Amino acid sequence: MRRRTLLAAASSALAASTVAAARPRPHPRTLHVRRGDSVQAAVDSVDGPGRTIVVHPGTYRGVVQVPATARDLTIRGVEGADPRDTVIVYDNANGTQKPDGSGTYGTAGSATFTSAAPGLTVRGLTLANDWLRADHPEITGTQAVAAYVTGDRTLFEDVRLLGHQDTLFADTTTLDAFDRQYFRDCYVEGDVDFVFGRGTAVFERCHFRTLARDVDFTPKGMVFAPATARANPHGFLAVRCRFTSGAEDAAYKLARPWVPSYETTARPSLVVRDSWLGPGIDPAAPYTNMRDAYPWQSMRFAEYANSGPGAAISVPENRPQLTAGQAASHTRKTYLGDWRPYA
């Protein structure tokens, strides 16, 4: 009798284990990437909205592309870790030849990190493009993007963005989209047009660093090159930010307007307010043209309540200033609307 009972129990246990084996395991909502792992492989395994990828300290060399289907994805470093310790980096440039011989990557294609996903959050790590002009004198397309982001409701917090020309491409999914992006407590460094694009982007408490550049002309570069659509009331807004430089005084311009050949109706918009501008920014003439056919004076460039040696107003016509009433319509709330990541 005892033997039959044991056999029955064993049979029941076998049946239960067979059912358990047949039942698919639930996909984890949080994925961990450690040294030697692939960040792209983790992104590729995302099978639904609201997933989180935790990237542990280390250097991850390779391109990462987040598709539009990865809605509300979070990619972050380990809580409490220094963002300098977790680095995603690669070295393609606009003029780099593709391995398949089909041509060059182009500016957008050079990006180390690309995302078209709505609701993306990136937090607590470094995105870099370490391509250097000096190492590739044969390449004339020297744009080398660290991050190319489109998609509405994109949040970057405590992220370091490192590059030279065209470090951060803050763009939109389509020409008629007003995709919103919010960068808080980020560090961005570069030289030529290193924050550029068509997006509605708010930069709050961010640090922009202009690099020393071994050329014998000035300006050595520009921080911003917005390409805002004419129909979009809001382009780039920098509020409570800091602008420092590794170059000599007045070597950099604050901005120049980018009117792309594929969107000649663009009317770039930039407001810098309540920020500290160091001596690296040319105070007498902080703006310049990208092309004389589109003078910066015809664009939407303005400042409000800035301080520091780079903010000194010596030639008033070169530094359009908002009134207090006008400044009230240039806030994170007015730019981001019903999306409130700062809350």
Which sequence positions are flagged as catalytic? Answer: 166, 193
Q: What is the DSSP string of 154-176?
A: EEEES-EEE-STT-EEE--SSTT
In contact, 46 and 71? CB cutoff 8 Å: no
Q: How far apart are CA 160 and CA 239, in angstroms?
A: 18
Q: Where are the beta strands (DSSP E) in 109-199?
A: 113-115, 121-123, 126-129, 147-149, 154-157, 160-162, 168-170, 180-184, 187-190, 195-197
Q: How far apart are CA 111 and CA 149, in angstroms?
A: 9
End-to-end CA distance of the chain: 68
Q: How far apart are CA 143 and CA 219, in angstroms?
A: 17
Instruction: Please give the structure tokens belonging to residue 83.
Output: 């963002």
In contact, 93 and 44? CB cutoff 8 Å: no
